[in-house]
């Protein structure tokens, strides 16, 4: 039996360190686990969509360079729940927190 921690997947393609760090902080504050994986992909939407579909919790984040997107399983690839081209610190925190809140079923920030 393979035992995996239920976690939010973050698929990254050469991510900006500050963006990645603040998104992770946003998730951590909400108390949910996350896993970061390097992946190569055409777009941040692709990364997020794949991450959401691979995560058993159904919540995934894609980060490509400065851009970041939040996706949930069951939503069309072209319509991420939340996406930024170059998010500031509070937007990163918010994106991370919302990835966690999507699982906790509490209202988004």
Question: In this complex, which beta carbon is closest to another protein, that of residue 19 or of residue 102?
Answer: 102
- Closest-CA residue to 97 (of 86, 81, 85): 81
> Which of these ranges, 11-19, 26-34, 38-46, 59-67, lies near another protein under the rule CB under 8 A?
26-34
Question: Cα(38)–Cα(11) distance, rounded to whole angstroms?
Answer: 6
Tokens of 63: 């980060």
Residue 5 touching another protein (CB under 8 A): no
Q: Can you list the positions of beta strands (E) in 1-109? A: 8-13, 34-38, 59-64, 67-72, 82-84
Q: How far is the CB of 102 from another protein (least distance, A)?
A: 7
Residue 4 touching another protein (CB under 8 A): no
> Which of these ranges, 3-11, 12-20, 29-37, 45-53, lies near another protein under the rule CB under 8 A?
29-37
Q: Which of 72, 92, 95, 99 binds another protein (CB under 8 A)?
A: 72
Which residue is listed with tokens 């170059």?
86
Q: How far is the CB of 4 from another protein (least distance, A)?
A: 21
**Using CB under 8 A as the criterion, which residues of the chain lie in contact with another protein when the complex forms?**
25, 28-31, 72, 74-76, 79, 81-82, 93, 101-102, 104-108
């Amino acid at each position: 039996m393979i035992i995996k921690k239920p976690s939010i997947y973050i698929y990254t393609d050469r991510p900006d360190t500050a963006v990645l760090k603040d998104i992770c902080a946003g998730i951590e504050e909400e108390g949910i686990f996350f896993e970061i994986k390097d992946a190569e992909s055409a777009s941040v939407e692709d990364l997020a969509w794949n991450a959401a579909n691979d995560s058993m919790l159904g919540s995934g984040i894609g980060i490509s360079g400065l851009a970041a997107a939040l996706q949930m399983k069951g939503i069309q690839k072209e319509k991420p729940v939340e996406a930024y081209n170059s998010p500031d610190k509070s937007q990163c925190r918010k994106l991370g927190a919302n990835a966690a809140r999507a699982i906790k079923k509490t209202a988004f920030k």
